[in-house]
Amino acid sequence: MSNKQSNTENSFINAHTHIFHAKDTPAHLAKKIVVWPFYYFINTHWFVSLAQKLRANKSKEYSYRSRNKAWQKYLTSRYSLYGFIKRCVLFIANIVFFFYLVYILQPMMAFWPLEGWLKQFYESEAIDQFLFLDRRFEYLVILLPLFLLFVNLRRSLFKLLVTYIKTKFGKENIEFYIRYKNLLSFARYEKSANIFSKLKSQYPPGSKFVTLPMDMEFMKAGAIKRSYRDQMKELLTLKNNNKEIIYPFLFAHPKRLKEEINGYPYFAGALDQDGNYQLQECDVKYYFEKGCAGVKIYPAMGYYPFDEALLPLWLYCSQNGIPITTHCSVGPIFYRGNLKDLRQPIDQHPVFNQIIEKDENDNEIIKDLRLPLHKNSVFQRNFTHPLNYLCLLDENFLKDVLDYYNNVDLDDLFGYDRKDKAKKLDRNLSNLKINLAHYGGAENWEEFLSKDRYNEANYIINRPTEGLRLHKRLNNDKPTILYNAWHFIDWFSIISSMILNYENVYTDISYTTHDLKYLNLLSEILDNEKISKRVLYGTDFYVVSNHKTEKQYWIDMQNSLGYKKWNKIANINPTEFLTSNSKGSI
C-alpha cells in the first residue's frame, strides 16, 4: 500500500474548531465573571499583549547565551556542597515565609481545633521572640522579598491558592476561569494561519477541519480591534490556500443580519416564483460563493435560534441542505450586557407555555413559560436550551413562532394562513440540518449518569428507538411536557431524543468528551444505530487544549471506540453533514 493511500485511510474530519485570535475578542470578557469595576483591569487585549511579550522573552531562552548560562548553572549544581547549601537556604526560607504568613492570616482561622493550636503556638515563650513587630501586616516586609526571590515559594503558594479557590468558588466557576485563560493563551497569535498550523500539525495528512468564526461585537463585552468582515476575509484567504482541508462557516448574529454598510446588506434574499428562497447580492451570498460550507450561531450571546432575523436564512439553508452548527452548552462566552435590554419580558419564553394553576372549574390556566432572572452566566442556559430548536423543526411550534412575531413578510415566506391555522405551511424547516454542538456539555452527561430514580433520564436506554418521544408527547400534553423537560431533564437525553425523533439533527462531542470517563458513555450511545449516524467528531480547538492536546484528544478517542465507531463519527457522518448544494460543500 502506498503512503498516500495509508494517509488517506488514517485521515478524518474535525467538525468543530476555532482559529480566531485576539483582535476578534472583546476587551472585557471578564465582565459578569469578575465584579464591577475590577473586570476593567482584566482587559483581554492587555493580557494578550502581555502574553506576547512573555512569549518573546521566553524565546530568548533558546539563544546560545541562555543555553550556555543554563549549562554553567548545571555544572555548578553538580558540586554536592553547593546543592546542600541551596537546599538548606530554601528550607529555611520556606519555614520563615509560612511562619509569618500563617501569623498574618491567623485571625481568619478562627475555627476549632486550629484556632486553639495556633493561639497556643504563637503565644508560647519560645516563639514570641520572633514576633518583634507591632502589627501583623507589617510582616509583609519580610514576606515580599522572600516571595520575589524564591521561585519554589511562589509555586507552592500558587498551588495552595488554586486549591482554596476550587473549594471556595466551586468546580463550575473554576472551569469558566480556566477556559477564559486558555482562550487568551491561543488568541495571542496575530494570524489565524499561525493558529491553524498548530492545529493541522497534530493530525494525519489529509485530515479536514471545519473552522468556525466568532462574531462577538454585540455581546456587550467591550470593543473589538478587528471587524467581523476582516476576520472572514482572513478565513476565506486561508480557505483559498487550503481548499481541500478547511471548511469555513459564516457567522449569523441577528443584529449582523440586519446590518447594511453603505447600502450593501449583510444578508438579503427573496422567494422566487417556484417558492425557493434565493439570495440577493449580500455578504452572506459572497461568503457562500467563496467557499463557506455552513452557518454558525451562538445563542448564548443573547438571542433565541428562532429570532425573526434568522428565519429567512434558515429557510435558505433548509432548501439547500446547508449545515448549521449551534452552540448548545453553557460556557464562558455569553451576553455581558443588561438582560432586560434584550427583549421584554425577558423572564418569559416567547413561544413555550406552562400550566400555572387550575381555576375553580378545574380548567388549566396557561401562561408563558417562566424563566426567572439569574446572573448572565446562568441565564444563558435559556438561550442555548436544545428544546428551542423544536420551534424550527416542528411545524406546530414554528406556527407559534410566526404568531409571536406577527410579521406579514414572515407569514408569506412560510405560506402561513392565519385564518386557517390547521392548514399546513407551504414551506417549513423540518429538513433543517442542524448540529447541536457539544452534545449538551459535560455537566449534562454527568447529570444523565447520576440520575437513577428519575424515569425520563432512563428513556434513552429503555426506549432506544424513540427516547423521550418528544414529537408525539408534545402534541398531546404540550405545557406539562415542556415544563418538565425544560427544567428537569438533562440535555444529553433531550438531544439524543431529538436525533431519534427528527431527521437531520446532529450533535458533535467537542470539548465535552475531553474526560476519559465520558468515552464509555459515548461508546455506549454509539451502539444506538440511528444516533450513531448523527454524532460528529470535534474538539473545540483551541478552547479544549487546557485539558488535552489535539493529538491526545483524537488518539484517546480513536483507540477507545474502535475503528467502526470512530470511522462513523470522524469520516462518514461529518461528510454527510457537510454535503449540500453550496459551493463550499465537501
Reported as a single tens digit per residue, the pLDDT across 116-159 is: 788 888 888 888 888 888 888 888 888 888 888 877 777 777 77
Distance from C-alpha of 89 to C-alpha of 393, rounded to nearest angstrom: 69
Stretch 417-433: mean pLDDT, rounded?
94
Give the least confident one: 75-79, 259-263, 404-408, 471-475.
75-79
Secondary structure of 387-419 in HEC code, one letter for each residue: HHHHHHHCHHHHHHHHHHHCCHHHHHHHCCCCC
- The amino acid at 511: Y
pLDDT of amino acid 532: 97
The topology (CATH level 3) of 181-394+430-577 is: TIM Barrel (3.20.20)
Stretch 10-28: mean pLDDT, rounded?
89
Stretch 398-417: mean pLDDT, rounded?
96
Stretch 41-51: mean pLDDT, rounded?
71
Give the least confident one: 93-97, 181-185, 261-265, 426-430.
181-185
pLDDT of amino acid 394: 94
pLDDT band at 173 (very low <50, low <70, confident <90, very high): low
pLDDT digits (tens, 9 = 90+) for 278-337: 999 999 999 999 999 999 999 999 999 999 999 999 999 999 999 999 999 998 899 999
In sequence order, the β-bridge partners of residue 248 are: 211
pLDDT of amino acid 573: 97
pLDDT digits (tens, 9 = 90+) for 533-573: 999 999 999 876 667 889 999 999 999 999 999 999 999 99
Q: Is the pLDDT of residue 426 over 80?
A: yes
Distance from C-alpha of 495 to C-alpha of 468, rounded to nearest angstrom: 10
Kindly report the length of the chain: 586
Distance from C-alpha of 296 to C-alpha of 132, rounded to nearest angstrom: 64
pLDDT of amino acid 487: 92
pLDDT of amino acid 456: 86
pLDDT of amino acid 5: 36
Distance from C-alpha of 119 to C-alpha of 222, rounded to nearest angstrom: 49
80 touches 111 (CB < 8 A): no
At a CB cut-off of 8 Å and minimum separation 6, what does 483 contact?
354, 355, 369
pLDDT band at 8 (very low <50, low <70, confident <90, very high): very low
More reliable by pLDDT, 179 or 204: 204
pLDDT of amino acid 56: 64
Q: Is the pLDDT of residue 40 over 80?
A: no
Mean pLDDT of the chain: 87
